[in-house]
Structure 1
Amino acid sequence: KVQPSGPRAAEAADGEDLVYEHFSAFPLRQYGAEKFVVAAFPTFTAAVDDYFSKFEDQRATSEVEAKQQEKLSKVDKVKRDHEQRIGELQKAQEASEQKAELIILNAEEVDAAIAVIRSALAQSIDWTELKRVVKEQRKTGNPIAMMIHGFHFEENRITLLLTDSTDDAAEEDLTAPAVEVSVDISLSAMANARAFFDAKRKSA
């Protein structure tokens, strides 16, 4: 008798639900009844026919399941990407709002920093020399110079270090590190704040 065999997990009295893994003209030790359900057939031809008919059905089923899984994976990826984009947009909106609020809270100092840079440029001091002057002023403890963190010549902008140091600021705001805020030196503090609020609104 021929011995096609399938996993015991698919055990069925009539063999209809078996998932075949192997067929042989003789019983094989590695496919013993303790691990597999052994289906016996009267002829080798009958065993081969049954094996391959079920094999084709199983392969077709596996292909369908694989395609379904692939579709589900694509849907999951699209969903994850969408959620990630939403998260990034929310962070960008929060950052824009925070920067706008910090500019407003430090409007006087921001305007002073912008005025210093404008005045220096109006006197034909180039950006390289301006950086040197600001660096020297930091050493003397000049509060405006210490607030200026970086220069972006090609964009006509400077980066300021701003914090919420108002009297009604929460304790965590007072201990939080300064935030780097890039401002356009051709605009006032309030105009720069509006630009950040506009950026938040456009990204919504």
Structure 2
Amino acid sequence: MAEFIEHNLQGVDSAILAVPVALAEGIVWEDLARMVKDEKMAGNPIAGLIDKLHFEKNCMIEVVLALSAHANSQRWYELKKSQERKQGKTFTPHKKAFKLAEKKIHLQLSQV
């Protein structure tokens, strides 16, 4: 997602700006979603970047509307790093436990 946003910085920034402007003009989320769908069908490249509007999370294509495209990209990179750290913390103890069990099995087999 971070790379997608980086490759489309201008378009994502344009979409980020367009959504709040439309909402400020009084367009409700449901109507905005229909407008985006119509614009996609018409070939609008900015609308084509929007996968889905998530009004309950104030985001679209998992891009937070309160952040710039660049800040959203950085957010995704940080999320990835965080997940990798968590996975590493989980994987390391399991790997150690597996090696310990493997040694125990080899020891037991050598005693038979």
- Whether these two folds match at TM > 0.5 is yes
Taking the TM superposition and a 5 Å limit, the aligned residue runs for 1:7-22 are none
The answer on 1:110 being equivalent to 2:12 is yes
1:151 to 53, 76, 80: 53
- Structure-2 separation of matches of 1:116 and 1:147: 12
User: Aligned partners of 2:11 and 2:28: how far apart in 1?
Assistant: 23
After superposing on structure 2, the runs of 4+ consecutive aligned residues of structure 1 that deviate more than 6 Å are none
More helix by percentage: 2
Per the TM alignment, residue 201 of structure 1 is displaced from its structure 2 partner at its CA by 2.0
Please give the root-mean-square deviation of Cα atoms over the aligned residues, in Å: 1.2
Residue 132 in structure 1 maps to residue 28 in structure 2: no
Unaligned residue ranges in structure 2 (runs of 5+) = 86-112
Deviations 1:109-166 (A, max 9, x none): 110111111111111211011011112212221111122111111100111xxxxxxx
Q: In structure 2, how many angstroms separate the alpha carbons of the residues matched to 1:196 and 1:139?
A: 28
Q: Which runs of 5+ in 1 are unaligned?
A: 1-98, 160-181
Q: Which has the higher contact order (CA 8 A, sep 6+)?
A: 2
**Residues in 1 aligned to 2:67 and 2:24: alpha-carbon distance in whole angstroms:** 15
**TM-score relative to the length of structure 1:** 0.39
Q: 1:1-204 maps to which residues of 2 (within 5 A)?
A: 99-159=1-61, 182-203=62-83, 204=85
Q: Which amino acid aligns with 2:46?
A: I
TM-score by length of 2: 0.69
* CA distance in 1: counterparts of 2:4 and 2:41, whole angstroms: 25
- Number of residue pairs matched by the alignment: 84
Higher strand share: 1
What do residues 34-78 of structure 1 show as CA deviations (whole Å, max 9, x unaligned)?
xxxxxxxxxxxxxxxxxxxxxxxxxxxxxxxxxxxxxxxxxxxxx
Cα offset for 1:185?
Answer: 0.8
